[in-house]
Amino acid sequence: MAQISNTYSGKIVCLDKANVDTDQIIPKQFLKSIKKTGLGPFLFDSWRYEDEGYLGKEESKRTLKNDFILNNKAFSNANILIAKENFGCGSSREHAVWALKDFGITTVIAPSFGDIFFNNCFKNGILAIQISKSNLEKIFSKQSETKPLEISVDLVNQKIFYEKLFEENFEIDPYRKKCLIEGLDEIGYSLKYEDEINKFEQKLRKERSWVIND
Amino acid sequence: MEKRTLYDKIWDDHFVTSRDDGSDLMYIDRHLVHEVTSPQAFDGLRENNLKPRRVSSILATPDHNVPTTSRDNNLDGIKDPISKLQVTTLDENCNEFGINQFKLDDMRQGIVHVIGPEQGLTLPGMTIVCGDSHTSTHGAFGSLAMGIGTSEVEHVLATQCLVTKKQKNMLINIEGAIENGVTAKDITMFIIGRIGTAGGTGHVIEYSGEAIRSLSMEGRMTLCNMAIEAGARAGMVAPDEKTFAYVKNRPMAPKGDLFDKAVNYWKSLPSDEGAKFDAIFNFKSEDILPQVTWGTSPEMVVSIEDEIPHTSDKNILSALNYMGLKPGTKIKEIELDQIFIGSCTNSRIEDLRVASEILKDNKISKRIKRAIVVPGSGLVKKQAEDEGLDKIFIDAGFEWRDAGCSMCLGMNPDQLNQLERCASTSNRNFEGRQGYKGRTHLVSPAMAALASLEGKFSDIRDL
């Protein structure tokens, strides 16, 4: 799993929409890819371009929608995405996270997330942070059209802060934090418990043998 | 003894160990695999020299990318080379690792969430995962069934476990008998309308009450299928005699003494009287009328008697703009271009029977440009044909297709054209879901069939 710095600052881009589903983050035609990479150009495809995208379509030949925030040049190197309630709801497609990552997003901050998307973020080294609505409103009220704000994240002490505007502690599961900081191989980590898995399976074969159908 | 919910019991019986980082390993009994969310997981196994730990737990099938027009040319029938590559990649991965797959030319091929229960692979008390959010469907059997991401698919393949934390318990209780014409689809859409698309986040939902108990197994699958649209990764219904009768004699279900032993265990699963739920919702059946969505989120839903709400909320106005609709428009005034009957929500034999009953000796409206019915599996298709349902659909003006996910998400050629409006029995009305700039209204199979005759939405209870 990808590692993330203990503390970092990043330029933010605010997406002023609630219930953004993963179909919007990466539409279905891009799920045909058998790779994890190369999805960045198609992030929010229907909202970003005037034309319908498909895998392999050249970005230079497409027309950008002027009113979409990610197309504002001031935000072209933003790496922290700020969103509203229930971000990433819907489909389990991990392609949504792969697209965000490929685009350069390292952190997603929202008041709440879809469960599967939230989980998928951490599996790919993206930090998803739940923020209070009041501080979210502060960020939205301060954002400018021309100059992106910078927010600092202190993963070790679980804090995000923006100059004097606010400082907020966030919750993160200890295992997710450890994975992000140490860049752990999750499968390797679980396989340390192979003895326990074997024991469980033996018990299962005895007590509920219909489950093991080999 | 401590009083436990159905979810508590399944959790306890699948808890392997706690890792030293505070997360838990939950054992996975069954793993369904399809072509879209698995290629990167199999790549990951190869990169790390790993193999699937228990191949017998896995069943694979292609469903998202498959054509529904004809299977005569098998893989050559897939015109899009990228789609075809995804399906052949599944073939190669299943061959390499010895995984049981119902291939495209297999009569048993179909939507993963239709074939699991159909084969008796889905059993009460099990933990079931699939790289697909509608895995919640299998909770209808009193199993804990969850959609997972591709990284988790790889993890489950390699370890037979999911890294997880216990979620909260939510009870949704619906008392009273449901009105004639109101179906499981209406119940599940009504619930989403009330609790919202994030209402169940962080919870496992157990559905209970007279209205739920009276549902058939197909109905319960429709109900649990859309638990994820209420934000919950898993929804479930306690197993009962209906469940056992449905499971009995299915190809992959236990037989003879082993079946009896299993039933004995399954009977111990329902939530104990007085078990604690973190959240409880009570709804009355009489409040649930046939439902129709009008926006771009499943929570944007009202009954057939209603109109589109007046609002100043900019998210809602933007949804209405996408849908080409205005506040105050009566649902019964909305005219349609296409009809889709299918998807893991509503493509089982019971759904096709209900729809065909309405279509019998009738013709679809001239307004409707295309109406398609896509059975959930090759076996559902065959059964429907044995019952003569295909003829009813075709005579009414529907296209009778082969099994797959089809126009639920349009990864295959079955898509809406731009700005076309569809009455669909699927589960998501997100922007572009059924086709670029397409407009989706979610309804029950009965309501979709009636809409096909009228060219607009009508109340099934008036029939």
Write the residue in A94, A123, A197 that is nearest to B161 by C-beta.
Answer: A197
- If we measure between CA atoms, which residue out of B450, B452, B287 comes closest to residue B460? B450
Alpha carbon distance B133, B137 (integer Å): 9
The reply to whether A43 falls in a domain is yes
Q: Are residues A192 and A88 in the same domain?
A: no
Residue B39: band (very low, low, confident or very high) from pLDDT cuts 50, 70, 90:
very high
Q: Are residues A210 and A131 in the same domain?
A: no
Q: Are residues A103 and A209 in the same domain?
A: no
CB-based contact, B89 to chain A, within 8 Å: yes
pLDDT of B384 above 80 = yes
- If we measure between CA atoms, which residue out of B375, B404, B399 comes closest to residue B387? B375
Write the residue in B44, B155, B197 that is nearest to A19 by C-beta.
Answer: B197
pLDDT of B235 above 90 = yes
Unique residue bearing structure tokens 């910078």: A150
Q: What is the pLDDT along chain A (214 residues), one digit of tens a residue?
A: 556 788 999 999 999 999 999 999 999 999 999 999 999 999 999 999 999 999 999 999 999 999 999 999 999 889 999 999 999 999 999 999 999 999 999 999 999 999 999 999 999 999 999 999 999 999 999 888 788 899 999 999 999 998 778 899 999 999 899 889 988 889 999 999 999 999 999 999 999 999 997 7
CA distance B147 to chain A (A): 6
Q: Are residues A61 and A127 in the same domain?
A: yes
CB-based contact, A36 to chain B, within 8 Å: yes
pLDDT of B363 above 80 = yes
The reply to whether A188 falls in a domain is yes
CB-based contact, B118 to chain A, within 8 Å: no
The reply to whether A71 falls in a domain is yes
Q: Are residues A14 and A79 in the same domain?
A: yes
A66 exposure class (CB count in 10 Å sphere: 0-12, 13-18, 19+):
exposed
Q: Are residues A200 and A103 in the same domain?
A: no
Contacts of A73 (CB under 8 A, 6+ apart): none
Q: Are residues A209 and A157 in the same domain?
A: no
- Chain A residue with CA closest to B202: the answer is A115
Contacts of B388 (CB under 8 A, 6+ apart): none
Number of Cβ within 10 Å of residue A146's Cβ equals: 8
Residue B163: band (very low, low, confident or very high) from pLDDT cuts 50, 70, 90:
very high
Alpha carbon distance B386, B381 (integer Å): 9
Q: Are residues A107 and A148 in the same domain?
A: yes
CB crowding B276-305: b at 16 or more within 10 Å, else e: ebeeebebebeebbbbbbbbbbbbbbbbbe
CB-based contact, A102 to chain B, within 8 Å: no
Q: Are residues A192 and A172 in the same domain?
A: no
Contacts of B418 (CB under 8 A, 6+ apart): B435, B436, B437, B438
Alpha carbon distance A173, A188 (integer Å): 19
Unique residue bearing structure tokens 């919702």: B281
Q: What is the pLDDT of residues B257-268, one digit of tens each?
A: 999 999 999 999
What is the residue-wise DSSP string for B334-347? -B-SEEEE-TTTS-
Name the residue range of residue A124's domain: 10-183
The reply to whether A199 falls in a domain is yes
CA distance A18 to chain B (A): 7
Write the residue in A35, A116, A200 that is nearest to B149 by C-beta.
Answer: A116
CB contacts, 8 Å: B23 with chain A: 173, 175
Q: Residue A166's beta-bridge partner residues?
A: A162
Q: Are residues A168 and A210 in the same domain?
A: no
Q: What is the pLDDT of residues B346-355, one digit of tens each?
A: 999 999 999 9
CB-based contact, B411 to chain A, within 8 Å: yes
Number of alpha carbons in the 13 Å side-chain half-sphere of residue B102: 25
Write the residue in A24, A120, A175 that is nearest to B149 by C-beta.
Answer: A120
Alpha carbon distance A44, B111 (integer Å): 27
CB-based contact, A147 to chain B, within 8 Å: no
The confidence score (pLDDT) of residue A2 equals: 58
Q: Is the pTM of this model over 0.90?
A: yes
**Residue A77's CATH number:** 3.20.19.10
The reply to whether A67 falls in a domain is yes
CA distance B236 to chain A (A): 17
Contacts of B28 (CB under 8 A, 6+ apart): B14, B57, B127, B128, B129, B156, B160, B161, B162
The reply to whether A46 falls in a domain is yes
Q: Under a CB-based contact definition with an 8 Å cutoff, are residues B131 and B153 in contact?
A: yes
Q: Under a CB-based contact definition with an 8 Å cutoff, are residues B87 and B95 in contact?
A: no
CB-based contact, A51 to chain B, within 8 Å: no
Which amino acid is residue B445, in one-letter code? P
Q: What is the pLDDT of residues B86-127, one digit of tens each?
A: 999 999 999 999 999 999 999 999 999 999 999 999 999 999
Number of Cβ within 10 Å of residue B23's Cβ equals: 21
Q: Are residues A99 and A194 in the same domain?
A: no
Q: Are residues A118 and A214 in the same domain?
A: no
The confidence score (pLDDT) of residue A1 equals: 54
**C-beta atoms of A19 and B411 within 8 A:** no
Which amino acid is residue B108, in one-letter code? R
- B105, B219, B288 from B237: Cα distances, Å: 34, 11, 19
CB-based contact, B24 to chain A, within 8 Å: no
**C-beta atoms of A17 and B147 within 8 A:** no
The continuous run of DSSP H or E covering B31 comes out as: strand B30-33
CB-based contact, A116 to chain B, within 8 Å: yes
Say yes or no: ipTM exceeds 0.85.
yes
The continuous run of DSSP H or E covering A139 comes out as: helix A133-142
The reply to whether A96 falls in a domain is yes
- Chain B residue with CA closest to A186: the answer is B155
SS3 of chain A: helix, strand, coil, percent, to 5: 40, 20, 45
CB-based contact, B147 to chain A, within 8 Å: yes
The reply to whether A143 falls in a domain is yes
CB-based contact, B152 to chain A, within 8 Å: yes
Q: What is the pLDDT of residues B391-427, one digit of tens each?
A: 999 999 999 999 999 999 999 999 999 999 999 999 9
**C-beta atoms of A214 and B82 within 8 A:** no
**C-beta atoms of B148 and A36 within 8 A:** no
The confidence score (pLDDT) of residue A6 equals: 86
The confidence score (pLDDT) of residue B16 equals: 98
Average pLDDT score, chain B: 97
The confidence score (pLDDT) of residue A143 equals: 85
Binding-face residues of B in 154-213 toward A, CB within 8 A:
154-155, 158-161, 163, 165, 197-198, 201-202
The continuous run of DSSP H or E covering A198 comes out as: helix A194-207
CB-based contact, B18 to chain A, within 8 Å: no
Total domains in the fold of chain A: 2
CB contacts, 8 Å: A92 with chain B: 37, 131-133, 147-149
CB contacts, 8 Å: A21 with chain B: 297, 428, 430
**C-beta atoms of A191 and B158 within 8 A:** yes
